[in-house]
């Protein structure tokens, strides 16, 4: 049985700074075939290498795709759609929300 804690107390003290970001993105087309990628860069002022993407949410069904991301340079978060399906995935332009945290440890 999973242990679930709902609320904000689980992050207290874990991050010394956090960015809550909402951006309209368009991943374009992740070509046919398992393991293909489509990426977009989002400018987030003051993030730095070593910061971590805590969560990501998009406003459309990713259809067997996985969206993940990372801080790839100063002020840049790269979000990537991994196509795990047998066909092409072409997501519509959508609202993407994500959280970036700077670890306090």
Q: What is the pLDDT of residue 46?
A: 96
- Where b means 16+ CB within 10 Å and e means fewer, 50-63 reads ebebeebebeeebe
pLDDT one-digit tens code per residue, 34-83: 566 788 899 999 999 999 999 998 877 766 778 889 999 999 999 988 87
Q: What is the pLDDT of residue 21?
A: 94
Is the Cβ–Cβ distance between 32 and 61 less than 8 Å? Answer: no
Is the Cβ–Cβ distance between 69 and 44 less than 8 Å? Answer: no
Closest C-alpha to 80, from 52, 46, 56, 47: 56
In the predicted model, is pLDDT for residue 33 greater than 60? Answer: no
Structure tokens at 70: 């990372």
Percentage of residues in the chain with pLDDT exceeding 70?
80
pTM (2 decimals)? Answer: 0.83
């Amino acid at each position: 049985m999973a242990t679930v804690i709902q609320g904000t107390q689980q992050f207290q003290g874990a991050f010394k700074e956090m960015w809550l970001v909402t951006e309209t993105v368009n991943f374009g087309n992740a070509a046919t075939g398992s393991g293909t990628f489509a990426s977009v860069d989002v400018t987030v002022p003051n993030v730095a290498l070593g910061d971590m993407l805590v969560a990501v949410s998009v406003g459309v069904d990713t259809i067997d795709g996985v969206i993940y991301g990372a801080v790839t340079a100063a002020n840049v978060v790269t979000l990537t759609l991994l196509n795990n399906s047998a066909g092409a995935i072409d997501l519509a332009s959508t609202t993407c929300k994500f959280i970036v945290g700077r670890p306090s440890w």
